[in-house]
Amino acid sequence: MPVVKVQDGRVAVVTFGEPPVNSLGLTTRRDLAAALDAAITDPATAAIVLGGANGLFSAGADITEFGTPKMLAAPNLIDLIALIEASPKPIVAAIEGTCLGGGFEIALGCNYRVAGSGARLGLPEVKLGLLPGAGGTQRLPRLVGVEPALNLILSGEPVPATAFKGSPLLDRIVEGPVVAAAVELANAKVEELSGRAPPRVRNRPLREPALDAFLGFARNSIKAAFPNYPAPLAIVDAIASAATQDFDAGIAAERRWFSELLHGPVSGALRHLFFAERAAAKIPDVPESTPLREVKRVGVIGAGTMGTGITINFLNAGIPVVLLELGREALDKGVARIAETYEGQVRKGRLTKEDALARRSLLDATLNYPDLAECDLVIEAVFEDMDVKRQVFERLDASLKPGAILASNTSTLDLDRIAAVTKRPSDVIGMHFFSPANVMKLLEVVRGRATGKDVLATVMKLARTIRKTAVVSGVCDGFIGNRMLEQYLRQALFMLDEGASPAEIDRAIEGFGFAMGPFRMSDLAGNDIGWHIRKRRYADTPTMVYSRIADRVCELGRLGQKTGSGWYDYRPGDRNAQPSAVVDELISSYRAELGLVPRKFTKAEIVDRLVYALVNEGAKILDEGIATRASDIDLVYLYGYGFPAWRGGPMGYADAVGAFSVVHRMAEFARNPHGDPAFWTPAPLLARLAASGGAFNSTGVRS
């Protein structure tokens, strides 16, 4: 629905609509400006009510216009709000449903605001590395005060209209029809004003006692909490302008900040990831109209670390789960672990006792396959062993009803070989969760050679239900994330050989922004996981050279936090990693064996070797069609491996550096006398991009 203007007595009701969320793209802005102009100049109109169609006010600007000429084309949001604010006739915003970002800023430009009690208002720009750029930082504090405005804008989270009860932000909060209430208020205001100009938010005084002390405190807290994000500090500065300068100077400051942030790398990275998330749900050869299977009951096989975490996801979403184990003891342990998780959440006040109970009551535990008969989907999370998995799938094939989906949580094994033991390979799919499975947001959905399109579409939809970000991966060893990680870890170990220490490497990459460096991460996950994979490599792929230091650490029984020592030492009950003299000694003697004289490393070399190891493998994964698009890889690293969001994921980061520079740096590493030239041979896609000046993310992301 475009913009519609309807006369209700002397009140013109202007409604704008742009399905699904009334975003404020150029066409909508143009139509809206024309309709408002017509109402303002119409002698039969004394007041205007402005509302949104589709049951909501507006979710804000059209983000696809950001950074394009369309965003600035007249009337831009600032022009539109200026037109509203300059109206000699009162304009009342009728706020229903969602009122966010630019939509909220339009409402702030109106003279009066009436909201439905279910409406939610917010300024989420900070999540895209921006600040509200159409007056939000100037008008909101004038209505609610500096501190509440700062909190709302910094959090980016929407707040219920009822939270503003008694604040001049909302003139009325109503239960019934919002537009009718807004028309009523408009009529009352026409009488009250009797020809005088309506009040404007820009003219409201903003006096704030102890402003400097508050702003100083806010700046210090923000610098500590968001060291790599420029938007939060810019928001404080913009609000400070609102409190200390006249309105026009404040608006000018806000505009400068907005433009600087918009063209800066952090907002670019965050917007890239925003579009990446939308794109990941789309699978080129699986149309949105693909029929879905119903998933009302789920089975989970194996009540270990992963099985219990996976189970919790479904219980939290209100989906009953049947958890199956080999033996009573393991089953009881798994059920107890689930109960403990909920008890912990109740203790921390994150969940009510009743909710915890309700979720637990959705769990059935069993030792018998026939109890899975009613399940629509069963996820296997048993030991990472092909024979064990194949046995489980044979039993599932024999026990499950026709149409049930058979999923494996395998991290490395060939899904097609698992599917081949069943008579229904098209019903088999990989659902690779990350540990802890009830916390980590990533789900790699592994598409086997025979996986049915409806099975894939169903699992992608289900991922949303359990609040995961799902990325499709083809079948290969390690899928997207772990296959790249293996090369990253190999580089980390080579650098130990050459002279770096585990703590030095961890510090460098954590300084780059990773949540955890490779050695702290291995100690957390268990060093035996990598050991197991390397043993397989030594047998299957002897050409893949590996430093043997990691094996020696494992041979000493130093498997990580779970054994009290790994790459680091851990004091009982303390997860803080302490550098280990034993490991230092082990590394020194290994270097001596190889005849390597240790050398110094710069942080830049450590970071570049680790990140470009990811990028080069990512390029192979893209070229082979294992990943659909570069931005999918970025999401995998953001949500599964703690890659810093503000750097946009490994492929987004490589795009920002430029493929040419990446390849040039890799050539330097290949010339290192202790380097591995084969390792640093650019993947064909990376070489092509370096030659053409292209980017991994140049296509597909915004489609």
Query: End-to-end alpha-carbon separation of the chain, Å?
Result: 23
Smallest distance from the beta carbon of 367 to ligand NAD, in angstroms?
9
Least separation in angstroms between CB 478 and ligand NAD: 11
CA pair distance 30, 83, nearest whole angstrom: 12
Give the binding range for ligand NAD (CB under 6 A) out of 37-45, 381-389, 530-538, 653-661.
381-389
Question: Does 330 interact with ligand NAD (rule: CB under 6 A)?
Answer: yes
Smallest gap, in angstroms, from Cβ of residue 398 to ligand NAD? 14
Instruction: By CB under 6 A, tell whether 305 contacts ligand NAD.
Output: yes
Does residue 561 touch ligand NAD according to CB under 6 A?
A: no
Stretch that binds ligand NAD, among 47-55, 116-124, 375-383, 628-636 (CB under 6 A): 375-383
What DSSP string describes 483-515? HHHHHHHHHHHHHHHHT--HHHHHHHHHHHT-S
Using rule CB under 6 A, residue 50 touches ligand NAD:
no
- Beta-carbon contacts of 113 under 8 Å, excluding residues fewer than 6 positions away, are 92, 93, 95, 107, 169, 170, 171
Binding-site member from 6, 34, 358, 383 for ligand NAD (CB under 6 A): 383
CB of 302 to ligand NAD, least distance (A): 3
Residues 277-296 that bind ligand NAD (CB under 6 A): none
Least separation in angstroms between residue 516's CB and ligand NAD is 14
Longest dimension (CA), the chain: 94
Between 40 and 525, name the residue whose CB sits nearer to ligand NAD. 525
Using CA atoms, how far apart are residues 213 and 221, in angstroms rounded to an integer? 12
Alpha-carbon distance 532 to 560, whole Å?
14
Long-range residue pairs from 107-110, CB within 8 A, at least 24 positions apart, any chain: 107/57, 108/81, 108/135, 108/136, 108/139, 108/140, 108/143, 108/201, 109/81, 109/82, 109/84, 109/85, 109/135, 109/139, 109/201, 110/50, 110/84
Report if residue 421 touches ligand NAD, rule: CB under 6 A. Answer: no
The reply on whether position 525 binds ligand NAD by CB under 6 A is yes
Identity (one letter) of the amino acid at 588?
A: S
Could you tell me the smallest distance in angstroms from the CB atom of residue 559 to ligand NAD? 13
Select 129 or 302, whichever has its Cβ closest to ligand NAD: 302
Q: How far is the CB of 370 from ligand NAD (least distance, A)?
A: 14
Q: Which of 319, 381, 405, 472 binds ligand NAD (CB under 6 A)?
A: 381
How many whole angstroms separate alpha carbon 118 and alpha carbon 52?
15
Position 501 contacts ligand NAD (CB under 6 A): no
Nearer to ligand NAD, 395 or 688 (CB): 395
- Choice between 436 and 511, CB closer to ligand NAD: 436
Near ligand NAD in 430-469, by CB under 6 A: 433-435
The site for ligand NAD, by CB under 6 A, has a size of 24
Which range binds ligand NAD by CB under 6 A, 125-133, 305-313, 594-602, 666-674? 305-313
Looking at residue 565, what DSSP letter applies? B
SS (H, E, C) 70-119: HHHCCCCHHHHHHHHHCCCCCEEEEECCEEEHHHHHHHHHCCEEEEECCC
Q: Can residue 72 be called a binding residue for ligand NAD (CB under 6 A)? A: no
Judge whether 125 counts as a catalytic residue.
yes
366 contacts ligand NAD (rule: CB under 6 A): no
How far is residue 445's CA from residue 435's CA, in Å, rounded to a whole number?
Answer: 15
Q: Assess contact for 122 and 169: CB atoms under 8 A.
A: no
Rounded Cα gap, residues 344 and 338, in angstroms: 10
Task: Give the per-residue SS3 of 607-668.
Answer: HHHHHHHHHHHHHHHHHCCCECCHHHHHHHHHHHHCCCHHHCHHHHHHHHHCHHHHHHHHHH
Smallest CA-to-CA distance from 77 within 53, 105, 52 is with 105
- Residue of 65, 96, 105, 254 marked active site: 105
Rounded Cα distance, 213 and 168, in Å: 25
- Quote the radius of gyration of the chain (alpha carbons, Å): 29
Among 90, 230, 307, 644, binds ligand NAD (CB under 6 A): 307
The only residue of 85, 171, 325, 427 in contact with ligand NAD, by rule CB under 6 A: 325
* Of residues 599-658, those binding ligand NAD (CB under 6 A): none
Contact status: 524 vs ligand NAD (CB under 6 A): no
Q: Does 341 bind ligand NAD (CB under 6 A)?
A: no
364 counts as binding ligand NAD under rule CB under 6 A:
no
Smaller CB distance to ligand NAD: residue 17 or 302?
302
Nearest distance from C-beta of residue 440 to ligand NAD, angstroms: 9
- Which is it for strands 428-433 and 442-446: parallel, antiparallel or unpaired? antiparallel
Q: Using CB under 6 A, which of the segments 3-11, 73-81, 298-306, 593-601 binds ligand NAD? A: 298-306
Q: Which of 18, 65, 96, 125 is catalytic?
A: 125
CB of 334 to ligand NAD, least distance (A): 6
Q: Please identify which residue in 58, 187, 411, 547 interacts with ligand NAD, judged by CB under 6 A.
A: 411
How far apart are the C-alpha atoms of 488 and 572, rounded to whole Å? Answer: 30
Q: Which residues on adjacent β-strands are paired with residue 173?
A: 115
Phi, psi torsion values for 229, nearest 5 degrees: -115, 115
Nearer to ligand NAD, 306 or 351 (CB): 306
Asked if 418 is part of the footprint of ligand NAD (rule: CB under 6 A), the reply reads no
Q: Is 335 in the site for ligand NAD (CB under 6 A)?
A: no
Phi, psi of 400 (to 5 degrees): -85, 155
Which of 384, 454, 623, 676 is close enough to bind ligand NAD by CB under 6 A? 384
Q: Which of 53, 110, 251, 301 forms a contact with ligand NAD (CB under 6 A)?
A: 301
Residue 248 or 385: the one with the smaller Cβ distance to ligand NAD is 385
Q: Counting contacts by CB under 6 A, is residue 81 touching ligand NAD?
A: no
Would you please indicate which residues are annotated as catalytic (active-site) residues?
105, 125
Please give the residue ranges that form the binding site for ligand NAD (CB under 6 A). Answer: 301-307, 324-326, 330, 381-384, 388, 392, 409-411, 433-435, 525
